[in-house]
């Protein structure tokens, strides 16, 4: 391996959103030093890359994706870091090594971990993982009013920090279905503006409607009940704008519910940007279901026991040491948040959900779910409503409407959509990459043994 060759290609740099407790430069430094304790004292979101000699370290939170790929150039490994597969692939094409690329060989950094990789040649050693987020579990109050107040107060603090970074004269969009999480996000965003001395009407709610959708009617009722009619807009879309293949290309994943969600998000954001081209900031309620375990168990292979014994299951998946952990995608919301991040980024928007921030997740997992549920899986259907409504009342004084839960893609449709199959999504994903890789084969190859020093 040639000494003195820079073997780390960072295509994205350190990024943050609503970060407190450190600057971007400090986060990068602590990542390079594997200083988990210092990273743990921050809040908000970041994704960072650092190097210490031949060891490269990467770290991220849920809200900002980070991915890497190991290529071979100049007798040794090159680590290419980006936020997307196709970004890494294009760099490989430019270097004439796209023939080495395989999307399944890319790796997503799992949220809340430092990943260490040693660049020492062939074979490449397996990465090492070190947690920097390890919240206490189940130590909060069984009184749901108290737990809700703690949870929502944490979400408000996260939103205030994020909004403080938005120029005061710029509008902020809220993806609004009228459901519990989006209503809470809207009310908290307005409350945060008031506490920051800003005009709360700079916050505007937007609801997607394909025609007769339940969300549009629900959102209109909620806006009227809250006295926010003038701050709410319906975004009308036609079904032909709902493009599942475009969503797969964008999120670079094949989980059907995430594909459907992303396809719906593209329609909403396209409509928002057509009306408000200069809008750059978006709030949503993503993560609220995960925090309060608001998923029907019958839709999965999960049991109440598996959910309770794995407190961060919905945020992180089964964990980096589990058989079911995907190296290419990680798990839980760590994986699926791309359904929010990528559509927003495609339209030049910075997306933020207060419910994905570590301090808010910590407030959620502090709830003693096992005692509160008392073995009753059906209690999960109402728990989020009770916690969030109590919290909003305690923090803002507002009695918010509590509407039924439904998926984003279902609520926007006038009639129930047939579920897209995972098999179709995987075939489409594979075909997209087969076409790209076939085209790359026509490019002249560079051997991994070529010894010319790369251009700076």
Residue 450, pLDDT score:
83
Q: Do 113 and 186 belong to one domain?
A: no
Phi-psi region of 178 (alpha: psi -120 to 50; beta: other; left: phi over 0): left
Residue 446, pLDDT score:
84
Residue 197, pLDDT score:
97
User: In the listed set 133, 162, 189, which residue is the last one of a domain according to the structure?
Assistant: 133
Distances (CA, A) of 252 to 289, 318, 426, 434: 23, 21, 10, 13
Q: Which residues lie below 8 Å from residue 231, measured CB to CB, with a gap of 6+?
A: 201, 203, 204, 205, 223
Place of tokens 């594997």: 34
Q: Which CATH number does the domain housing residue 20 bear?
A: 3.60.20.10
Q: Is residue 2 part of a domain?
A: no
Whole-model pTM? 0.95
Q: Do 122 and 180 belong to one domain?
A: no
Q: Is residue 446 part of a domain?
A: no
Q: Where are the alpha helices (DSSP H) in 317-412?
A: 332-336, 338-346, 358-365, 369-373, 380-396, 408-411
In DSSP terms, 17 is beta-bridged to: 45
Considering its fold, how many domains does the chain have in total? 2
Q: Name the 3-class secondary structure at 50.
A: strand
Q: Do 200 and 291 belong to one domain?
A: yes
Question: Is 223 within 8 Å of 231 (Cβ atoms)?
Answer: yes
Mean pLDDT of successive 10-residue stretches along the chain, which has 456 residues: 78 97 98 98 98 95 98 90 97 94 97 95 89 97 96 98 96 96 98 98 96 89 96 94 96 97 96 96 97 88 92 96 93 97 97 98 97 92 96 98 85 78 98 94 82 58
Q: Which CATH number does the domain housing residue 207 bear?
A: 3.40.50.620
The Cα 105–Cα 219 span in angstroms is 43
The Cα 435–Cα 59 span in angstroms is 32
24 burial (CB, 10 Å; 0-12 / 13-18 / 19+) is middle
Q: Do 240 and 306 belong to one domain?
A: yes
DSSP states along 67-120: EEEEEEETTEEEEEEESSHHHHHHHHHHTT-GGG--GGG-EEPPTTEEEEEE--
Range of the domain at 38: 8-133
Residue 443, pLDDT score:
78
DSSP states along 309-328: HSTTHHHHTT-TTSTT-BTT
Q: Do 167 and 211 belong to one domain?
A: yes
In DSSP terms, 55 is beta-bridged to: 52, 118
Whether residue 123 has a cis bond before it, omega within 30° of 0 = yes
Q: Do 178 and 89 belong to one domain?
A: no
Cα torsion through 404, 409, 413, 417, rounded to 10 = -110
In DSSP terms, 117 is beta-bridged to: 56
Residue 456, pLDDT score:
46
The Cα 243–Cα 343 span in angstroms is 12
């Amino acid at each position: 391996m040639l000494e003195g060759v820079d073997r780390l290609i960072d295509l994205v740099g350190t990024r943050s959103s609503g970060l407190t407790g450190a600057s971007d430069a400090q986060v990068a430094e602590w990542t390079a030093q594997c200083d988990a304790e210092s990273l743990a004292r921050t809040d908000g979101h970041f994704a960072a890359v650092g190097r210490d000699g031949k060891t490269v370290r990467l770290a991220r939170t849920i809200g900002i994706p980070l991915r890497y790929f190991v290529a071979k150039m100049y007798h040794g490994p090159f680590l290419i870091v980006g936020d997307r597969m196709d970004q890494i692939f294009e760099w490989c094409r430019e270097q004439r090594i796209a023939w080495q690329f395989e999307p399944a060989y890319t790796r997503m950094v799992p949220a809340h971990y430092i990943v260490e990789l040693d660049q020492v040649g062939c074979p490449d050693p397996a990465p090492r993982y070190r947690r920097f987020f390890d919240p206490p579990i189940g130590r909060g109050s069984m009184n749901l009013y108290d737990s809700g107040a703690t949870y929502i107060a944490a979400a408000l603090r996260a939103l205030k920090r994020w909004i403080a970074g938005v120029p005061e004269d710029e509008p902020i969009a809220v993806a609004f279905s009228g459901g519990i999480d989006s209503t809470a996000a809207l009310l908290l965003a307005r409350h945060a503006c008031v506490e920051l001395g800003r005009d709360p009407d700079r916050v505007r709610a937007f609801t997607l409607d394909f025609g007769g959708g339940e969300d549009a009617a629900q959102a209109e009722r909620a806006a009227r009940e809250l006295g926010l009619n003038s701050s709410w807009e319906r975004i009308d879309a036609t079904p032909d704008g709902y493009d599942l293949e475009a969503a797969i290309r964008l999120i670079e994943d094949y989980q059907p519910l995430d594909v459907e969600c992303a396809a719906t998000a593209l329609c909403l954001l396209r409509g928002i940007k057509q009306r408000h081209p200069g809008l750059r900031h978006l709030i949503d309620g993503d993560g609220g279901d995960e925090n309060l375990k608001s998923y029907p168990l019958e839709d999965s292979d999960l049991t109440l026991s598996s959910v309770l014994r794995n407190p961060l299951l919905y945020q992180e998946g089964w964990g980096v040491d589990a058989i079911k952990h995907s190296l290419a995608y990680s798990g839980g919301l760590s994986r699926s948040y791309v359904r929010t991040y990528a559509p927003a980024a495609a339209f030049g928007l910075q997306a933020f959900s207060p419910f994905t921030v570590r301090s808010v997740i910590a407030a959620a997992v502090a709830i003693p779910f096992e005692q509160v549920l008392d073995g009753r899986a059906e209690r999960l259907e109402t728990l989020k409503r009770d916690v969030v409504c109590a919290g909003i009342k305690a923090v803002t004084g507002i009695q918010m409407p509590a509407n039924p839960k439904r998926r984003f893609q279902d609520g926007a449709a006038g009639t129930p959509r047939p579920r897209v199959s995972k098999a179709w999504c995987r075939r489409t994903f594979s075909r997209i990459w087969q076409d790209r890789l076939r085209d790359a084969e026509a490019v002249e190859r560079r051997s991994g043994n070529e010894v010319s020093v790369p251009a700076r």
